[in-house]
Amino acid sequence: MYFIVFVIIVSGGILMKKTLLAGMMAAAASVMMPGMAWAEAVTADVPMGSVYYDYVDKLSGMGYIDALPDGARPYSRMQMAKWVLQAEKNAKSKPMPAYLADELASMRQAFGAEIAVLKGRSDQEDVALREASVQLASYGSDQASYKESKKDVQPNAHWQPFGQGTKGYDYADGFNAVAKAEVSGNIGHKTAVSLTPRLSWNDDDDLELKLEEGYVKTKTGIVEYLAGCQALRYGQGKTGTLVLDDTMKPMTMVQAHLEDDMPVRGFFRFLGKQNYHVFYGQLEGDREDRVAKGHTDYDHAGLLGLRADFTPSDAFTFGLMRVSMLGGDGNALSKSDWRHWVTGHNSEAEGDRWNDIAGGDFRMRLPGVQFYGEVYGEDAGGLQPTERGYRFGTYLPQLTRDGSWDMTLEYASTNPFWYKHQKYQNGWTYSDAIIGDAMGNNARKYYLGVNHYLPGENQIGAYFMRTQMDRGTANHPDVYEAALTGRLKLQDHFFLDGSLGLAKIDHADYTDRTDRNVFATATARWQY
């Protein structure tokens, strides 16, 4: 029922009005009970790309986690610990397959300190090394990266086959070596820190040491605050998310959200549990230099995001979101502009003062299957975004009785206006990467993925994906991508992850050329 109501409302545009999310954020305090502000410890977040997200998805698909996780990632270490306890409790009445029990045992060990706090221990774990990895990659390509659009046409960005979720790292043609280390922990009860340095080297003799992620997190009452550089992934997609994805370089920003889901009270109690996220970051300082000749853009433009997540029942969760690109050097918003932004009134065409994407995403669980989707719209002036993008998927967690085989099917589509804008003519980009789904505008994506789980945290998988990019353009790129993936636990805390992929790109870079790429990785990973 909730799914039907949600789809009808979103497709009708009522919930996509620009005023809704701002109003929800302002009204959140009125639907929370005063007594809910209990002292929960602040913990660092689990970085996007961690294997534990796969474990949570599998536990949820198999029914060992009570309520569906929402679409606002990353999740905190404390949230992961709560799911471990839920799964252990549910496993007492529902025997757990061996492969899944091994994954759960790994999570219990990884989040043991947080579990101890939930059971009454007062002190928090000190700052420590959580994970270290070394990846060796061979990227045999006719071209290392490709343009999102033809010359002098926005968005001004690039993409790579097999490049999803790379947090801004671009593989060079030939050999690549990437080493990472995640260090996180607590400084007192109300402060957590996290640092992830990354050292990379390739055949072009490019040696780079940089901080991939780094932030400080604290709280006041029931609200947590974060300042620093962090990869976010808001939405429900398997192969990407339409608005905010972790393929781009993590952006430096400030964030605020509730420390835990809270029940909705009063008239709107049918919405179940609620959480809210707000973030603000600044885009790069050389956007004006990156823009094509004759186009416009503004250095240090802001990216402001508002998100509300609701879980009406254990089997259904949905999120509403609005993200705005606004301001920048020489393009400051006046008081009148801000009033119009709050009420959702924007000008048409050249008078458009900010670039908005707004809409919603959902996930629904039925016996043996999950359905998920995203419906978002680019602004087109006025109250309601009309240029829509879609993503719909089906997750089958139990192709076999024990769930050792599962499958995901996904379709995504954007229209010709997606990620474009009259004023910010670099488009919906940050540091030459799409902020959302790298498939870009006027694109279609088809995905089929299958995984097989084995005891001992071992896993094999395969997927096929086709992406038709910039379909309204002559000689538009048509990308075929297939890969085998695997995970092998060599001993306690030590894993070997690998992949072997093939890609064919018809009309590479909008030419008559057909490129063929081979991508192979081997990653040694230590979990502490």
Calculate the CA dihedral of residues 324, 329, 330, 334 and round it to 10 degrees: 50
Rounded Cα distance, 175 and 173, in Å: 7
Q: Per residue in 475-498, pLDDT tens?
A: 999 999 999 999 999 999 999 999
Q: Per residue in 343-395, pLDDT tens?
A: 777 665 556 788 999 999 999 999 999 999 999 998 655 555 568 999 999 99
Q: What is the gyration radius of the CA atoms in the chain, in angstroms?
A: 22
Dump the DSSP string for 480-494.
EEEEEEEEEEEETTE
In this prediction, residues 287-308 reach a mean pLDDT of: 91
Can you give the pLDDT at residue 32? 41
Q: Which of 170, 160, 73, 256 has its CA nearest to residue 481?
A: 160
CA dihedral for 250, 255, 261, 263, sign (positive or negative):
negative
User: Which domains, and CATH codes, for the chain?
Assistant: 14-527 (2.40.160.130)
Can you give the pLDDT at residue 252? 96
Say yes or no to pLDDT of 4 above 50: no
Q: What is the 3-state secondary structure (H, E, C) of 359-386?
A: EEEEEEEECCEEEEEEEEEECCCCCCCC
* Residue 18 pLDDT level (bands cut at 50, 70, 90): very low
Can you give the pLDDT at residue 13? 39
pTM across the whole model: 0.92
Quote helix, strand, coil % in the chain, to nearest 5. 20, 40, 40
Residue type present at position 337: D
Q: What is the DSSP code (8-state) at residue 425?
A: T
Contacts of 340 (CB under 8 A, 6+ apart): 346, 353
Can you give the pLDDT at residue 292? 79
Q: Three-class SS of residue 91?
A: helix
Q: What is the share, in percent, of the chain residues with pLDDT greater than 70?
A: 89
Can you give the pLDDT at residue 21? 45
Rounded Cα distance, 373 and 165, in Å: 19
Q: Which of 441, 436, 353 has its CA nearest to residue 155?
A: 441
Can you give the pLDDT at residue 173? 92
Can you give the pLDDT at residue 501? 97
Q: Per residue in 92-129, pLDDT tens?
A: 999 999 999 999 999 999 999 999 999 987 777 789 99
Q: What is the share, in percent, of the chain residues with pLDDT greater than 90?
A: 76
Dump the DSSP string for 250-290.
PEEEEEEEESS-EE--GGGGGGBEEEEEEEEEE--TTHHHH
Q: Per residue in 313-354, pLDDT tens?
A: 999 999 999 999 999 999 888 888 888 888 777 665 556 788
Rounded Cα distance, 235 and 101, in Å: 28
Say yes or no to pLDDT of 189 above 90: no
Residues 326, 332, 337, CA angle at the centre, nearest 5°? 75
Say yes or no to pLDDT of 24 above 60: no
Give backbone dihedrals phi and psi of 352, rounded to 5 degrees, phi first.
-65, 120
* Residue 155 pLDDT level (bands cut at 50, 70, 90): confident
Strand duo 405-413 + 369-378: pairing: unpaired
Q: Per residue in 421-474, pLDDT tens?
A: 988 999 999 999 999 999 999 999 999 999 999 999 999 999 999 999 999 898
In this prediction, residues 293-309 reach a mean pLDDT of: 93
Whether 21 and 320 have beta carbons less than 8 Å apart is answered as: yes
Q: Which of 272, 305, 261, 268 has its CA nearest to residue 428?
A: 305
Q: Residue 191 to residues 122, 130, 185, 197, 253: CA-CA distances in angstroms?
A: 14, 17, 9, 20, 17
Q: 86: exposed, middle or buried (C-beta count within 10 Å: 0-12, 13-18, 19+)?
A: middle
Say yes or no to pLDDT of 204 above 90: no
- Measured distance between the N- and C-terminal CA atoms of the chain, rounded to whole angstroms: 44
* Residue 37 pLDDT level (bands cut at 50, 70, 90): very low
**Which residue is listed with tokens 């009860």?**
189
What pairs with residue 126 in β-bridges?
none
Can you give the pLDDT at residue 342? 85
- What mean pLDDT is reported for the chain? 89
Q: For residue 249, how many other CB atoms are within 10 A of its CB?
A: 20
Rounded Cα distance, 129 and 520, in Å: 27
Say yes or no to pLDDT of 193 above 50: yes
Q: Per residue in 405-416, pLDDT tens?
A: 999 999 999 999
Q: Which of 43-52, 137-146, 515-524 has the lowest mean pLDDT?
A: 137-146
Can you give the pLDDT at residue 307? 98
Contacts of 460 (CB under 8 A, 6+ apart): 451, 452, 454, 484, 485, 486, 487
Say yes or no to pLDDT of 506 above 50: yes
Residues 80, 84, 85, CA angle at the centre, nearest 5°? 120
Can you give the pLDDT at residue 359? 94
Can you give the pLDDT at residue 350? 56
Give backbone dihedrals phi and psi of 54, rounded to 5 degrees, phi first.
-65, -40
